[in-house]
Amino acid sequence: IRESLQVVRSRDPRIHRMPFLDAGHKLGGKKEGGGGSDYHALGAMEVICSSMAKTLQTALHPPDWLQGNYMAVRYEDLVVEPIKTLRQVYGFVNLAVSPEMEKFTLNMTSGPGYSSKPFVVSARNATQALSAWRTALSYQQIKQVDVYCHQPMALLGYERVGSPEEVKDLSRTLLRKPRL
């Protein structure tokens, strides 16, 4: 609730910010009242990324009671190495992975389908979803995310992009080993 309230409070159209959606984006049409949703999206991104940065800093330098009691898992790791990542997560909580769960995980990450709705649970080729942001977002939008989220992204091993060409070169991975 606290973070949700912070997101709502962070919406202040008087603060001059570059709109998150550029004019050519399919969602860029202005509704009555101007681009308030753009400012709301940026405000939410600021709050979420700031909160995530604090959480990751705590994980990076944990107090005694937290040491060994958390595990960071990136979506990309689950997609690239689903069974290995699944076994690591289950092992962390001292559970055995069943063959059915392995089969389910493989189907969810490398199934034949593709969903245009990212949070719909269905079989999909997750490697397509993994890099969809690189073709769906403009370079301007990606740089804005980078501005607000560079700290948590760096800790999680996401590389910064330097040019529109670098973003669109899907043969180049933008992942490195996370610092956690």
What does the pLDDT look like over 79-101, one tens digit per residue? Answer: 889 999 999 999 999 999 999 99
Longest dimension (CA), the chain: 55
Residue 5 pLDDT greater than 70, yes or no: no
- Tell me what the pLDDT averaged over the chain comes to: 80
Type and span of the H or E element at 61: none
Mean pLDDT, to the nearest integer, of 6-24? 54
- Using the Cα atoms of residue 92, residue 93, residue 95 and residue 97 in order, give the sign of their dihedral: negative
Closest CA to 102 of 121, 82, 88: 82
- Rounded to whole angstroms, the Cα distance separating 73 from 151 reads 17
To which residue do tokens 């403009």 refer? 138
Is the pTM value of this prediction over 0.85? no
Mean pLDDT of the 130-136 span: 88
Q: Residue with structure tokens 């990751």?
A: 56
143-171 mean pLDDT: 93
Amino acid 31: pLDDT: 44
Please name which of 51, 26, 44, 66 lies closest in space to residue 145, comparing C-alpha atoms: 44
